[in-house]
Structure 1
């Protein structure tokens, strides 16, 4: 027998193995697994260009205008931080932001609470016509807000459907001009926002409830948990991501609310329902205060950014 081992024979698998040179030894930078190649950025470049042209550039122009005193026609003069100082000191500019915070209770807090309640009931109990019920709740999201505003302006008018219904049941003392009353105008607009946003929250929470394992509910019932404890122990933690999405969408919808205010009250009576988005339009195109309008728009942008980032951070912190 030959003294040469099989591994040394020419033609064997061992002899045909080739050691690949290391990238690090060859001077090439090593790339971590899953790290995108530089060519990948070329695929997103068109989207980044459009994003910059239609969002970043106008945002930069708005930031520049906010530093000027300009009526939109004559030469502008330098204002510096005066327009931003006015946001904190001028009640007519500070008031719309306070109204927007109040509307967040109607646009965000109430829809999320009602959505959780309805979604829990629909997922726990068998309800006839549940699909039709979900469709009716989601219908306001499909309608244009202008249509919603016109319909509710008619309902809330002094001779509208709501007052007629109150008179029909003998509650004449409760009738009023809902959109013309200083006390009730803002809550009336907020109630419309609750009606619009609740359907979105219900659909989101129902979709999230379907991915919660049934075994968790069964284990909770074996431990003697009732409906309320089951909701807080199983349903609420399981819907944390959906709640974050719902809060983000409803907060943005509440803060950028313009068309509903414009159609129903135009910021009135007085300034009782004026909100930042409407005030930007009013000052830029009606009173020719472009610099103040731009500053208010930048303030609204910062407020939306801060609130949405806070919501996402809170959810991420609890998921860790």
Structure 2
């Protein structure tokens, strides 16, 4: 009777079998994500118009990014959008999830559908719709005039002081439903006995949410912060459709500027450098979020 293969040999075979299953997806990832990223980093070291022979400038493009006030302004605009794309939707999502979890009423399915609707609508369509809503004769201004606030009405997307806020509120509308659904899925995993114990101890709605619900949403919070922060820093569609970066450079964000530099101004090297800086910034923030969200052991 033949001897059985050693345990270590069987484990090694299972491990290599797993690598074989992962290999096709890994090959696609390397071909369409890793290699293009490395090529972008390589192009960022040249002054190149995309057609003629490039000229080596080393880190010159990166130095220009940190010295050019317009380029710095785009990064600042993206960080402002983080407030509207990430922080505000997360707060609204937590409030909505807390209310829906505590006060269940008929029709909650329709409520969830309405909140998730922006997620299934293309962002280009969202931008076109909100550009109409924000127009001089749009619904927003009509509503303000209807309640006697004619002095507040304005061309929101053309106002130097309010254009970035107006674009940010569009992001708030789009991402609040996603955050709410993530938190609702987390609330459903909480043991109902914990809520009952909190109520027996006399905890009110706020105390119950802070002491029971919020600690169990650590993972969902990390996912929501990651997705919404990346959406803010890499935003392009909504800004391009609604304002195209205007008025002036008030709503220009790095993603839009990369597009302009590469395809309109023929500064491919500078666009690649800005894309690398944006990618590093996103990775750093995502890493920080994941570090802060880990369970303390």
Higher normalized helix content (fraction of residues): 2
2:196 corresponding residue in structure 1? 218
Match of 2:278 in 1: 300
Residues 45-67 of structure 1: per-residue CA shift (max 9 Å, x gap): 11111111111111111001100
Identify the residue that residue 109 of structure 2 maps to in structure 1.
Answer: 131
Q: Is 1:102 aligned to residue 80 of structure 2?
A: yes
**1:242 corresponds to which residue?**
220
Alignment of 1:171-250 (within 5 A): 171-250=149-228
Partner of 1:269: 247
Paired with 1:33 and 1:45, the residues of 2 have a C-alpha distance of 18
- 2:256 corresponding residue in structure 1: 278
CA distance in 2, matches of 1:22, 1:129: 60
The Cα of 1:150 is off from its aligned counterpart by 0.2
In structure 2, distance between residues paired with 1:108 and 1:194: 8
Structure 1 residues 32 and 117, CA gap change in structure 2 (3 angstroms): farther
1:82-105 deviations in whole A, cap 9, x for unaligned?
A: 111122111111111110000000
Confirm or deny that 1:143 pairs with 2:121: yes
Q: Is structure 2 residue 66 aligned with structure 1 residue 75?
A: no
Distance of aligned partners of 1:32 and 1:95 in 2 relative to their CA distance in 1, 3 Å threshold: farther
From 15, 39, 51, the equivalent of 2:17 is 39
Cα RMSD for the two superposed structures? 1.9
Q: Aligned residue for 2:65?
A: 87
Where do 4+ consecutive residues of structure 1 move more than 6 Å?
31-35
**Which residue is 1:63 aligned to?**
41
> Structure 1: how far apart are the matches of 2:284 and 2:213?
28
Segments of 5+ residues of structure 2 without an aligned counterpart are none
TM-score by length of 1: 0.89
* 2:28 is the counterpart of 1:50: yes
Deviations 1:88-133 (A, max 9, x none): 1111111111100000000000000000001100110123311101
CA distance in 2, matches of 1:102, 1:300: 15
Using the TM superposition, give the Cα deviation of residue 169 of structure 1 relative to its aligned residue in structure 2, in angstroms.
1.0
Q: Any idea what SS the aligned residue of 1:173 has?
A: coil
- For structure 1, the 5+ residue unaligned runs are 1-17, 24-28
Higher mean Cα deviation, 248-257 or 194-203? 248-257
Q: How many residues align?
A: 297
In structure 2, how many angstroms separate the alpha carbons of the residues matched to 1:218 and 1:281? 54
Say which one has the larger Rg.
1
